[in-house]
């Protein structure tokens, strides 16, 4: 919903939390954007905006089992990589890589971006990751992939014409030329890529030519964007896409991170989506500053979209912001079994298992509090903050009458605190303890405080855990924290879930 009493503001990130690899397109006055979703189902969140700043999730592109196969052996940070979203000849097209075993590159399309989207067209003749789509004046569709190579395809059938051929691959010797996007702008074709790896060395470079196949002339100012070797609060800037706004101005969406604490700086929310202005000088794009505060926008901003932070599980269908691991079979996830509740039935014995039953939402704020009312009379489960199967914290209630806080860090798993469970359903809580002052280089990004609400509404803290161990710098991978609900044994019933942003 929209709150017209809230003043719209322009700040970065424009889509906070674990929303990496943004791809954007404009149709009329509407902007649409997608991001990578990795091992989570449904796949590829889809956002809509009228001002490039305020985005509302309107669905997920791959939301049916027939569209998305993520077998249980798909590891964390596997699954769906780097979609490209385009609009051509009255249809929306999305191409993406599924790196799960036995999968590959695929294309789906829709007339309405809110769906339904078609079942996938497989692309066995397109290798690699990070595929892009672009159409030339003759209607030929060109697919460019990381490396960087290019092949003509028919996106309706998956047919390829010839073998992929190498094209411009960025700065000689630079690591990981990836995330290619090909555009026709003015008299030139522009090939923009990311390079340097998706960590602190990340950057964006571009080249141009008179044909979609090149040869491509590199921009003399490459990289046109990077924050490497700086102390800027936004780092790892790269994997970008360009869009021309309604007024003719140009903009770039890109991923970046917000490291917190001391050295090396821990980012906990994953790679987020940022926005930057673009000017054109001598036929080359010049990217403006990527700062927490965006410049004055050249058009009025729409009122701030107020997300649904509380779910009472009264609807038959779950909100599109909810994600689960690998799949969502009805026998394990239900809002109908007990009306007004979410019922999770365990598969696997803990969040350590690849087939764990977990339903979460991305942590989108550096400070937050989450609460849930849980009935564990028929099983064991609770509230967790997850980065992957080897890095997560949880507070769980059991049918045996205990509440315990569990920490999994790498190969170590420990029950760090335990206390008797109050009778009946119980409110479990988790909140950030805030980022401590960086008094030395070892200061972490935050703490996660788990607790139980007492009958008088107060919160009894059970354990406080160091947040650095749920960060990408510790765990590795490409995702961010997800806060949610899980079942480890039997059936667990959740009456409601509430997520409240903090001050950051």
- Per domain, the residue ranges of the chain are 23-222, 310-501
Cα-trace Rg, the chain: 23
Residue 420, strand partner residues: 402
3-state helix, strand, coil in the chain (%, to 5): 0, 50, 50
Residue 74 near residue 139, CB atoms below 8 Å:
no
Angle at 313 between CA 311 and CA 315, to 5 degrees: 115
> Catalytic residue at 63?
no
What does the pLDDT read at residue 49? 96
E-strand ranges in 291-346 read: 310-311, 323-325, 333-334, 342-345
Using CA atoms, how far apart are residues 320 and 183, in angstroms rounded to an integer?
A: 31
Residue 92 near residue 110, CB atoms below 8 Å:
yes
Q: Write out pLDDT tens, residues 266-310.
A: 999 999 999 999 999 999 999 999 999 998 899 988 865 556 689
> Catalytic residue at 331?
no
CATH architecture of 23-222: 5 Propeller (2.115)
Q: Output the DSSP codes for 192-245.
A: EEEES-SSTT-EEEEEEESSTT---EEPTT--SEE-TTS--SSEEEEEEEEEE-
Position 7 pLDDT exceeds 50:
no
Tokens representing 345 are 């039935």
What does the pLDDT read at residue 4? 38
Position 175 pLDDT exceeds 70:
yes
Stretch 159-169: mean pLDDT, rounded? 96
94 vs 438, which has greater pLDDT? 94
Using CA atoms, how far apart are residues 197 and 176, in angstroms rounded to an integer?
A: 5
Q: Write out pLDDT tens, residues 11-22.
A: 999 999 999 999
Stretch 355-371: mean pLDDT, rounded? 96
Position 313 pLDDT exceeds 50:
yes
Of the residues 21, 241, 388, 396, only one is catalytic, namely 21
What does the pLDDT read at residue 441? 83
Residue 203 near residue 236, CB atoms below 8 Å:
no
Q: Write out pLDDT tens, residues 187-223.
A: 999 999 999 999 999 999 999 999 999 999 999 999 9
Using CA atoms, how far apart are residues 371 and 484, in angstroms rounded to an integer?
A: 10
What integer best gives the mean pLDDT of the chain? 94
Tokens representing 252 are 């770039």
- Prior bond to 274 cis, omega within 30? no
Using CA atoms, how far apart are residues 176 and 82, in angstroms rounded to an integer?
A: 14
Position 436 pLDDT exceeds 60:
no
What does the pLDDT read at residue 1? 30
Stretch 145-155: mean pLDDT, rounded? 97
Q: Write out pLDDT tens, residues 337-354.
A: 999 999 999 998 999 998
Stretch 33-57: mean pLDDT, rounded? 97
152 vs 297, which has greater pLDDT? 152
Tokens representing 467 are 């947040």
Of the residues 39, 63, 130, 178, only one is catalytic, namely 178
6 vs 398, which has greater pLDDT? 398
Using CA atoms, how far apart are residues 291 and 248, in angstroms rounded to an integer?
A: 22
What does the pLDDT read at residue 438? 57
> Exposure of 32 by Cβ count < 10 A (0-12 exposed, 13-18 middle, 19+ buried)?
buried
Using CA atoms, how far apart are residues 98 and 116, in angstroms rounded to an integer?
A: 19
What does the pLDDT read at residue 304? 56
Domains 23-222 and 310-501 belong to one CATH topology: no
Dihedral angle computed from the Cα positions of residues 503, 394, 387 and 271, in that order, rounded to the nearest 10 degrees: -10
Stretch 457-462: mean pLDDT, rounded? 89
Stretch 60-70: mean pLDDT, rounded? 97
Model confidence at 500, in pLDDT bands (50, 70, 90)? very high
Q: Output the DSSP codes for 335-357.
A: STTTTTSEEEE-SSSSTTSTT-E
Tokens representing 141 are 């569709």
Stretch (H or E) spanning 473: helix 472-475
Dihedrals phi, psi of 472, to nearest 5 degrees: -65, -35
CATH architecture of 310-501: Sandwich (2.60)
What does the pLDDT read at residue 421? 86
Position 326 pLDDT exceeds 80:
yes
Using CA atoms, how far apart are residues 366 and 17, in angstroms rounded to an integer?
A: 9
Position 439 pLDDT exceeds 80:
no
Model confidence at 251, in pLDDT bands (50, 70, 90)? very high
């Amino acid at each position: 919903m929209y709150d017209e009493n809230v003043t719209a503001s322009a700040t970065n990130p424009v889509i906070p939390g674990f929303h990496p690899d943004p791809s954007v397109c404009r149709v009329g006055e509407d902007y649409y954007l997608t991001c990578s979703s990795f091992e989570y189902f449904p796949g590829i969140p889809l956002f809509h905006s009228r001002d490039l700043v305020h985005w509302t999730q309107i669905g997920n592109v791959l939301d049916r089992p027939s569209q998305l196969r993520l077998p249980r052996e798909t590891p964390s940070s596997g699954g769906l990589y780097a979609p490209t979203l385009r609009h051509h000849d009255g249809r929306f097209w999305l191409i993406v890589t599924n790196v799960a075993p036995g999968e590959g590159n695929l294309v789906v399309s829709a007339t309405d971006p809110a769906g339904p989207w078609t079942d996938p067209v497989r692309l066995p003749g397109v290798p690699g990751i990070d595929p892009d789509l672009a159409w030339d004046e003759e209607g030929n569709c060109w697919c460019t992939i990381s490396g960087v190579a290019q092949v003509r395809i028919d996106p309706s059938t998956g047919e390829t014409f010839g073998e992929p051929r190498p094209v411009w691959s960025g700065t000689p010797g630079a690591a990981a030329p990836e995330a290619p996007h090909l555009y026709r702008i003015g008299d030139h074709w522009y090939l923009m890529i990311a390079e340097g790896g998706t960590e602190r060395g990340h950057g964006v470079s571009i080249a141009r030519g008179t044909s979609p196949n090149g040869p491509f002339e590199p921009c003399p100012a490459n990289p046109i964007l990077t924050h490497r070797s700086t102390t800027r609060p936004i780092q790892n800037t790269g994997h970008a896409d360009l869009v021309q706004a309604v007024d003719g101005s140009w903009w770039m969406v890109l991923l970046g991170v917000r490291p917190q604490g001391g050295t090396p700086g821990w980012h906990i929310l994953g790679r987020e989506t940022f926005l930057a202005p673009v000017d054109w000088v001598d036929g080359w794009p010049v990217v403006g500053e990527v700062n927490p505060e965006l410049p004055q926008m050249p058009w009025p901003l729409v009122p701030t979209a107020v997300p649904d932070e509380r779910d009472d599980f009264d609807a038959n269908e779950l909100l599109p912001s909810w994600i689960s691991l690998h799949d969502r079979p009805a026998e394990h996830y239900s809002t109908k079994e007990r009306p007004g509740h979410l019922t999770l039935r365990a598969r696997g014995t803990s969040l350590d298992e690849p087939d764990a039953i977990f339903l979460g939402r991305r942590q989108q704020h550096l400070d937050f509090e989450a609460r849930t009312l849980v009935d564990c009379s028929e099983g064991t489960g609770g509230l967790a903050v997850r980065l992957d199967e080897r890095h997560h914290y949880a507070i769980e209630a059991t049918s045996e009458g205990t509440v315990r806080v569990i920490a999994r860090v790498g190969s170590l798993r420990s029950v760090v605190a335990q206390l008797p469970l109050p009778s009946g359903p119980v409110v479990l809580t988790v909140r950030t303890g805030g980022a401590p002052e960086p008094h030395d280089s070892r200061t972490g990004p935050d703490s996660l405080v788990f607790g139980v609400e007492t009958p008088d509404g107060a919160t009894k803290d059970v354990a406080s855990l160091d947040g650095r161990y749920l960060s990408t710098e510790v765990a590795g991978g490409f995702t961010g924290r997800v806060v949610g609900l899980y079942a480890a044994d039997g059936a667990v019933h959740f009456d409601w879930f509430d997520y409240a942003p903090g001050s950051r």
